[in-house]
Amino acid sequence: MAMSAGPAEDDAPMSDINTTPLVDVMLVLLIIFLITVPVVIQTVPVNLPKVVFEPTTTKPENVSLSVRATGGKCEVFWGQTLVQPQELLDRAVVKLKAEIDKQGGPTAPGVELPEAHIRGDVNTPYRCIGGAIFTMQRAGFARVGFISEPPAGYTAGRL
């Protein structure tokens, strides 16, 4: 690494550029990118299920709830009837007990418990839907699902 000041009698500006610092910086950046790119690109293989929207088969013993919020107050509808939280719990317990008794009691083999299907409005806060879920689970419903609407123009099918 030598440095030349040029001829002493010449007052012309020096036009040579010292490229050594530029090359040093470029080599350091190249090494950094060579090390970090494989780390960033690394992925975790995950086998996702290949399913498409499947229409729900509604059984007569299943409970259909609709939840919405109006004026900051949560409203839960059992079918088409507006119910209060305690009434929802009471109705759910009675419904579940009646279904279990109809199938031969809790010790009968192959007892199929009914499900609770909850349909929530888009603007409904989670506390309303979460309250309905909690109430149905407290009543004894083991399966609580959500009813959603497929995108416009979507046809159901399997992959």
pLDDT over threshold 90, residue 92: yes
| CATH T-level topology, domain 63-146 | Nucleotidyltransferase; domain 5 (3.30.420)
* Average pLDDT along the chain: 80
Beta bridge partners of 144: 116
Which residues are within 8 A (CB) of 35 and not within 5 positions of it... i.e. 6 or more apart?
Answer: none
pLDDT over threshold 60, residue 156: no
| Percent share of the chain, pLDDT over 90 | 25
At residue 146, the pLDDT reads: 82
pTM equals: 0.59
**Mean pLDDT (whole number) for 115-122:** 84
Strand ranges for 96-153 from DSSP E: 116-120, 144-146
